[in-house]
């Protein structure tokens, strides 16, 4: 079955890109990122970014406002289930990252939500990017999928702390309110 992903959740001032591989069946059904109730992506972001408990659209808007972009490596592919291992290699069509990075010039870090996202990015995207973008800081994080049961939520939380800005980074809202 051929499936198609979503547009990125991003504002032009984004500094950090978080990439998955392809939305799950449940995410596609609900037309929102990480919709499976056992996927810990949103609980981790709510905790780490200190987001208020809100509905999806408000949470997504707040994450974008904070400078985080969320997207998937693949624009479309064929896959029989929600498992990354079921993606048919010959069906892969990656997203247009050249246009994305051109439209989001402040992206300085890329995080992969799991190994498959990183593998797909390195195999199907990286070599097509301009040299400056190819050299962005990239880091694989443990998958937030319920299929990744090898790690506890706390272990995932510790690894995902890497998405937080450096302690000396200034929040644009705080800088605007400084007296």
In a domain, 103, yes or no: yes
Instruction: Please give the pLDDT value at position 179.
Output: 36
Contacts with 102 (C-beta within 8 Å, 6 or more apart), sequence order: none
Residue 55 to residue 126: CA distance in whole angstroms:
34
* 3-state secondary structure (DSSP) of residue 18: strand
CATH for 54: 3.40.470.10
The domain of 51 spans 2-162
Residue 172, in any domain of the structure: no
Report whether 33 contacts 8 (CB < 8 A). Answer: no
With respect to residue 168, please indicate whether it lies within any of the assigned structural domains.
no
Q: Is residue 112 part of a domain?
A: yes
Q: What is the pLDDT along the chain (179 residues), one digit of tens a residue?
A: 899 999 999 999 999 999 999 999 999 999 999 999 999 999 999 999 999 888 999 999 999 999 999 999 999 999 988 877 788 889 999 999 999 999 999 999 999 999 999 999 999 999 999 999 999 999 999 999 988 888 999 999 999 999 998 765 544 444 444 33
Domain count, the chain: 1
């Amino acid at each position: 079955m051929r499936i198609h992903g979503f547009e990125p959740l991003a504002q032009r001032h984004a500094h950090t890109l978080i990439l998955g591989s392809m939305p799950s069946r449940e995410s596609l059904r609900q037309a929102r990122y990480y919709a499976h109730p056992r996927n810990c992506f949103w609980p981790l972001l709510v905790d780490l970014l200190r987001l208020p408990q809100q509905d999806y659209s408000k949470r997504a808007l707040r994450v974008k406002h904070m400078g985080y972009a969320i997207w998937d490596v693949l624009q479309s592919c064929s896959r029989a289930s929600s498992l990354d291992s079921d993606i048919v290699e010959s069906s892969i069509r990656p997203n247009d990252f050249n246009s994305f990075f051109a439209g989001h010039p402040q992206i300085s870090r890329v995080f992969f939500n799991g190994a498959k996202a990183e593998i797909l990015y390195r195999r199907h995207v990286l070599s097509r990017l301009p040299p400056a973008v190819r050299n962005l800081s990239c880091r694989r994080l443990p998958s937030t999928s319920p299929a990744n049961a090898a790690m506890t939520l706390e272990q995932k939380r510790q690894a995902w702390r890497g998405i937080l800005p450096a302690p000396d980074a200034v929040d644009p809202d705080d800088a605007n309110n400084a007296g």
